Amino acid sequence: MTNKKVSFWRIFWASLVAGLTIIILIFVLFMGAIGSLMNSKPVYTVKDKTILHLELSGQIDEITRHEMNFGTIGMANQTGLVDLLYGFEKAAKDDRIKGVFIELKGANCGYSTATEIRKAIDRFEEESGKFVVAYHSGEFVSLKQYYIASAASENYGFHSSMFEFLGLGTELMFYKGMFDKLDLEMQVIRGSNNDFKSAVEPYFLTEMSDSSRLQLQTYLNNIWTAVKSDIGEARGIPTEELDRIADSSLIKRVEQAVKYNLLDGVKYRDEVIQLLADKIKIENTDDLNFKGFEKYAKKKFEAQQNVAHTKKANIAVIVAEGAVTVDGDGLASNNITKLLREARKDKDIKTIVFRVNSPGGSALASDEIWREVKLANEEKKVIVSMGDLAASGGYYIAAPASKIFARETTITGSIGVFGVIPYTGKMLENKLGLTFDRVSTNKHSVLSTNKKLTEKEMSLIQKEVDHTYSNFLNIVAEGRNMTVDQVNEVARGRVWTGLDALKVGLVDTLGGINDAIAYAAKDAKIEHPIIRYYPKVEKEAWMEFIEAFEENEEAVKGNMVPEELTNMYNRVKNVEQMTGIQARLPYEIIW
């Protein structure tokens, strides 16, 4: 018997052809499925006696974002606050909707956004008479999660869930000790009296300064007061009692939350589903019609915006969210200035609502946006609505508006500037043995992180920082009809909550985005508002295919990339976009 030797290339080419054939066949079938779906796009329907199911989890941005999540091979849709508010408004008037079932699973937002959602729940219940039932499950119930849900007419919790009700607190990390060990020095230049601009304190201190401690304690106290007030009103509990509960750590489990009237009962999920069935008089829970609240809200808002972008809209709402940069993914001046110009030059637009949710950023980009807001306000009034944050550069771009709205829990102010220049020469020499030498034509030709700044060079940079701060003061003084001295008293880099900002004249009234829009319409004498949001949320056709597929198939849950790594990556991206002098919030606030 002879063994025939098979050629490697014969096997290789046969395998390659077979593999390519399979790939081409799959591609053809896939494209055929997409074509079929696009030609017969599924119709979104809502049946009678429907209960909207709202699962608040993950990041809540200002507007909805549609992105492909390659970790799960599905759509990563971040629900926007605007969609949620509009969803509650439409559901209140929709006779097919009998109520809302809320399950909160780690919603990530600031307290101003949480307040907006609470107010929307309140209005929904008051205007429609329909029920809102909230259910808390998972490992533990956070304070913010409960704060949002406390507006619901009924609140229940899972038996073994932990319940957090301890008040508010924060912890800061200081790097000076580590830098000293590394022989690394951060050369910090703040505005001359910007003692509240404490973002840079961790670089040269080992604990909070008195100024930093004061502003932190003040705004935490203000937010806690607002949270207690809203919860106390909703649950009929005096705020003094809520303080006693928090101080004594009386609530650690859902059973204790029921005992102290923060929850209405302890139930398993099937018991809550039966309760919902009883409310709309359906015997079998299998016959309940649940519809995703987020999808309902998105569809309603998208339909309204499709009309607003084809008809002659009379109110423009420009959403500015993220760190202020010249270009990039955040609040980029290259994009926002175009949108402001477009709204200003549109003769049908009678007024502009500028929604700002930003910790600040580039001083140059802030100035570019400020200019466009000022020009727009001179032609048609600009009304600013502040979100969770409108601080430093975020306040700079709001200053020229004719009226500023903020929530009690909005973090604003931080009128100040700073610069940080690391000195790495000593570290590189002592730790790695690296040394540097220089040749130059003039005294200051070489400005390097490996060469410590001279007193003269520090003085030059200090003058530029002070000049930027002085310009900031003048910008605010002009926009707020205050003197520079009056602004300087409340500036110095100090952070304020919306409530205190109202008292010191940095904002005009307390309210949310819908309050700002209602005021803008009334002020411009618009009887029938047609509201157009910028930027328009675009959805590609293939995204519709993915969404439809996920509706019919159980999508893979979870992200293969850990959330902490994703957050770290986003922080690095933000650092890369920091160029020039910064007008930025003193802290990175992780909600």
Q: What is the pLDDT of residues 320-350, one digit of tens each?
A: 999 999 998 779 999 999 999 999 999 999 9
Give residue-wise pLDDT tens across range 224-269: 999 999 999 999 999 999 999 999 999 999 999 999 999 999 999 9
Number of alpha carbons in the 13 Å side-chain half-sphere of residue 440:
9
Grouping H, G, I as helix, E, B as strand and the rest as coil, residue 449 is coil
Give strand ranges (E) for 382-460: 382-391, 403-406, 411-413, 418-423
Give residue-wise pLDDT tens across range 387-398: 999 999 999 999
Q: Which of 358, 366, 392, 414 is catalytic?
A: 392
Q: What is the mean pLDDT of residues 182-207?
A: 94
What per-residue confidence (pLDDT) applies to 315? 97
Contact 360, 585 (CB under 8 A): yes
Number of alpha carbons in the 13 Å side-chain half-sphere of residue 251:
27
Q: What is the mean pLDDT of residues 481-498?
A: 96
Give residue-wise pLDDT tens across range 396-409: 999 999 999 999 99
What per-residue confidence (pLDDT) applies to 41? 55
As to burial, measured by CB atoms within 10 angstroms (0-12 exposed, 13-18 middle, 19+ buried), residue 395 is: buried
Q: Would the CA dihedral through 407, 111, 590, 317 be positive or negative?
A: negative
Angle at 148 between CA 145 and CA 152, to 5 degrees: 120
Contact 538, 368 (CB under 8 A): no
DSSP of 138-194: SSEE-HHHHHHHTTSSEEEE-TT-EE--S---------HHHHHHHT-EEEEEE-TT-
How many residues in the chain? 591
Instruction: Name the more confident of 6 and 499.
Output: 499
Cα–Cα distance, 143 to 223 (Å, whole number) = 12
Instruction: Name the more confident of 489 and 578.
Output: 489
- Residue 579: pLDDT over 60: no
pLDDT band at residue 198 using 50, 70 and 90 as cut-offs: very high
What per-residue confidence (pLDDT) applies to 274? 96
Q: What is the pTM of this model?
A: 0.83
Grouping H, G, I as helix, E, B as strand and the rest as coil, residue 444 is coil
Q: Would you tell me which CATH number, out of the four given (3.40.50.1100, 3.40.50.300, 3.90.226.10, 3.30.70.260), belongs to the domain 312-423+482-540+573-584?
A: 3.90.226.10
In terms of phi and psi (left: phi > 0; alpha: psi -120 to 50; beta: otherwise), the region of 558 is: left
What per-residue confidence (pLDDT) applies to 561? 45
What per-residue confidence (pLDDT) applies to 204? 94
What per-residue confidence (pLDDT) applies to 9? 55
Q: Which of 197, 295, 374, 380 is catalytic?
A: 197
Grouping H, G, I as helix, E, B as strand and the rest as coil, residue 380 is coil
Q: What is the mean pLDDT of residues 486-510?
A: 96
- Residue 558: pLDDT over 90: no
Question: Is 392 part of the annotated catalytic residue set?
Answer: yes
Residue tagged 């490697």 (tokens): 8
What per-residue confidence (pLDDT) applies to 67? 60
Cα–Cα distance, 262 to 254 (Å, whole number) = 9
Domain residue limits, the chain: 50-170+232-296, 312-423+482-540+573-584
Grouping H, G, I as helix, E, B as strand and the rest as coil, residue 198 is helix
CATH 3.90.226.10: does it fit domain 50-170+232-296? yes
Beta-bridge partners for 568: none
Cα–Cα distance, 34 to 55 (Å, whole number) = 29
- Residue 548: pLDDT over 60: no
Angle at 69 between CA 65 and CA 70, to 5 degrees: 155
DSSP of 516-562: HHHHHHHHTT-SS--EEEES-----HHHHHHHHHHHHSPPPPS-SS-
Residue tagged 């002009």 (tokens): 478
- Residue 142: pLDDT over 80: yes
Which of the residue ranges 23-32, 79-88, 256-265 has the most confident prediction, judged by mean pLDDT?
A: 256-265
- Residue 174: pLDDT over 80: yes
Could you tell me which of 90, 97, 65, 95 has the C-alpha nearest to residue 80? 65
Question: Is 298 part of the annotated catalytic residue set?
Answer: no
Give residue-wise pLDDT tens across range 260-302: 999 999 999 999 999 999 999 998 999 999 999 999 999 999 9
- Mean residue pLDDT of the chain comes to 87
- Residue 457: pLDDT over 70: yes
Q: What is the mean pLDDT of residues 460-466?
A: 94
Domains 50-170+232-296 and 312-423+482-540+573-584 share a fold: yes
Phi, psi at residue 315, to the nearest 5°?
A: -130, 130
What per-residue confidence (pLDDT) applies to 281? 93
CB atoms within 10 A of CB 276: 21
pLDDT band at residue 70 using 50, 70 and 90 as cut-offs: very low
What per-residue confidence (pLDDT) applies to 554? 35
pLDDT band at residue 77 using 50, 70 and 90 as cut-offs: low
Give residue-wise pLDDT tens across range 417-456: 998 999 999 999 999 999 999 999 998 889 899 999 999 9
- Residue 16: pLDDT over 50: yes
pLDDT band at residue 69 using 50, 70 and 90 as cut-offs: low
Q: Would the CA dihedral through 242, 245, 249, 255 be positive or negative?
A: negative
How far apart, in Å, do the first and last CA atoms of the chain sit? Answer: 76
As to burial, measured by CB atoms within 10 angstroms (0-12 exposed, 13-18 middle, 19+ buried), residue 333 is: buried
Proportion of the chain above pLDDT 70, given as a percent: 81
Give residue-wise pLDDT tens across range 39-53: 555 567 888 999 999
